[in-house]
Chain A
Amino acid sequence: MATVSAVTLRNALCQLQCRLTGVPQHAFGYVGLVSNYCQVRTKKQTKAQYKLEPDWFVNRKNRRQGKALTGDNEDFVQEVIGDTYRNQDSMLKEDPWPRQEYHRNTRRTGVVAIKLGVVPQWTKEGHKFFTTLLQVIDNHVIRYTPPEEFEKTSGWKPWWGQRFGSVVVGAMSSDPRNFSKAYNNLFTEAGVPPKKKLTRFLVTPDAAIQPGTPLTAMHFRAGDHVDVQAKTIDYGFQGVVKRWGMKGMPASHGVTKAHRKMGSTGGGGDKSGIWKGKKMPGHMGDKWRILKGLKIWRINTKYNVLYVQGPNIPGNTHGVVRIYDTILRYKRPAPDNHPPMPTWAEEDSQQGVELEYFDENLHVMSEASVSYSQ
């Protein structure tokens, strides 16, 4: 109820402003939004629930203790593991799946990356801005489930019907001895070493990818827009001053024991009681957050690094992030100029892969300084 009334009020005010000033409504959209901002007091936060992984997850850890190997034998085992997984391409058991056309509603898979750090870059106009370096670290497609099967196995009836299948992507290969056998067997279909991180993306069937396909930074192009999803920094249990930015109370003037407290929790009469969504101390951070429509300014193909717009990607350095094509309508790639389908393959770069790709508006460091014409 509260939401509806706020929105209608805002629209009404916006229309009124338009009528008074004779300016088209879209020009006032933003102004109206700011001036009529109404805070909706409902329970938005869900309580952080620390649960075990669901029943259908295989047990991941190898709980059996390893036997002590001599140095030579340890080297030998590592040699075998290395030989086993070295030649990735030969692990694709079938012929590559045919590539399909990109459509307006196509949704491709995403990639898993780690956050490396924040560095400034400059545009061709000489403006400074910050980018975050995201390294697509050792990604492979582990499994593809077509929509018909995915609808049945997801455990609930998806509202999207049979629009999406799912792709499981793994990142960071590691020693198979660290994991349980059941977990290692998840990777037999793809023929890759067991991965430390697994994640799932919803894809349309025309963007299906064969298991075992490597995903690199070339999955995206410089200039594309992506959504980035990651867990925010875990601050633990925090008070209201840090968690919600409340002011607390003065250091002196008779204040006792209330310097960082939140003060009143509500009024009396009709509005009595503590309302749902009241900002209180509690667990802060460690929540999934999405940043939408971030531009990729630059790609380094050697280290598989994407330079993504903005200094505020959630999480710590070396946090794990999910990157996929943006869902924002006006920033999605156009069908006539689309990214590689379903992902980049070597045949896409006939002239060979360059070390770096830049957005056209980015000032490249090896070019002359920006200067303005008279």
Chain B
Amino acid sequence: MLRFRIRTRPRKMASLEGLGSGPEGRLKRLRKHVTALIRHERLETTYAQCDETRGYAEKLITMAVRNGDRDKHTMEMADYWLLEKDLIHKLFKVLVPRYQSLPATATSIHRISTEYPGDGRHMGVLELKGNPWPPVRPQPRNTRLHLHNIQLEEAKKEYHQERLRAKSAAAAVPPEGSSVDGPAGSSVDPDPIDSESESGESKNSGDSSKR
């Protein structure tokens, strides 16, 4: 099973191996890409080719993880798709243990900038996860100490406290149909948001000018 969205129809890419090479030429070229990907763990070419290659590489790794090296069909496929035969060992001995318990895709794909001046092709990078290369994208910034996150954490505490209070109040007073309202009723009461200074710095604060 593939864990990413695939195109409904494949790209034809008819002339990859020279003009008129047809669907067979397409597979031949993709085979080279898959081999290179397993060998070097990172591949840089046009985005379309990266995307097409990704499906085949993922499928091959998924099959290897699922069926193991005893399965005849899987072995045949590995033999066809990997042109350099030492990579078959790498697939079953290195990659299968690496991705066995990974609940996500084994590869990741990135768009990179188009070369200028150049032929204007959209370029991409396809890589195996857990490769030894430096990352393509910078590490995402840790936003935990940003103002909005700190504020939200405070709001969360307040929210849960208020909820507890409402619950205990409901338990103290014998219910008369009012307790059905649940904790949400009190929590959504927009008491703490009256001050206009807060709406000024809110996330969706563009409307403040209108008021």
Contacts and interface: CB of A to CB of B under 8 A. Distances in A.
**A and B from one complex:** yes
Interface of A: 62, 64, 66-70, 72-73, 76-77, 80, 83-84, 86-87, 90, 177, 181-182
Contacts of B140: 68
A84 B159 CA distance: 12
B196 interface: no
Contacts of A76: 152, 155-156, 159
Nearest to B148: A67
Nearest to B163: A83
Interface string B118-154: 0000000000000000000000110110101100110
Given A64-B206, A181-B207, A73 B182 contact: no
B156 to A, nearest CB: 5
B55 interface: no
Interface stretch (B80-88, B91-99, B102-110, B183-191): B183-191
A72 B153 contact: yes
B204 interface: yes
Interface string B17-56: 0000000000000000000000000000000000000000
B188 A181 contact: no
B181 interface: yes
B170 to A, nearest CB: 15
Contacts of B159: 76, 80
A67 B207 CA distance: 17
B203 interface: yes
Contact of A83 (B149, B187, B206): B187
Nearest to A83: B184
B152 A69 contact: yes
Interface residues of B, number: 23
Contact of B143 (A69, A80, A90, A181): A69
14 contacts: A64-B206, A67-B203, A68-B143, A69-B149, A70-B143, A72-B153, A73-B153, A73-B156, A80-B187, A83-B183, A84-B184, A86-B184, A87-B181, A182-B207
A319 B85 CA distance: 49
A62 B204 contact: yes
Contacts of A73: 149, 152-153, 156
Q: Which A-B residue pairs are the 9 nearest by beta carbons?
A: A83-B184, A73-B152, A68-B143, A76-B156, A181-B207, A84-B188, A67-B148, A70-B144, A70-B149
Contact of B182 (A64, A80, A87): A87
B210 to A, nearest CB: 9
Given A72-B153, A76-B152, A181-B207, A67 B143 contact: yes
A84 B189 CA distance: 10
Contact of B146 (A67, A77, A83, A87): A67
Given A70-B149, A84-B184, A177-B204, 10 more contacts: A64-B204, A67-B143, A67-B146, A68-B141, A72-B156, A73-B153, A76-B156, A90-B181, A181-B206, A181-B207
B191 to A, nearest CB: 14
Which of A66, A73, A76 has most chain B Cβ within 10 Å? A73
B203, B206, B207 — most chain A CB neighbours (10 Å): B203
Nearest to B207: A181
Nearest to B208: A181
Given A72-B153, A181-B204, A83 B188 contact: yes
B137 to A, nearest CB: 14
A181 B207 CA distance: 7
A87 B181 CA distance: 8
A76 B149 CA distance: 11
Contacts of B206: 64, 181
Contacts of B155: 76
Contacts of B182: 86-87
**Which of A64, A70, A181 has the most B CB atoms < 10 Å from its CB?**
A70
B9 to A, nearest CB: 15
Nearest to B144: A70
B141 A77 contact: no
A90 B152 contact: no
Nearest to A62: B204
A77 B153 CA distance: 10
Contacts of B149: 69-70, 73
Given A67-B148, A73-B149, A87 B143 contact: no
A266 to B, nearest CB: 39
Contacts of B204: 62, 64, 177, 181
Nearest to B146: A67
Nearest to B203: A67
A302 to B, nearest CB: 25
A191 to B, nearest CB: 11
Contacts of B184: 83-84, 86-87
Contacts of B148: 67, 69
Nearest to A177: B204
A316 B204 CA distance: 35
A177 B148 CA distance: 15
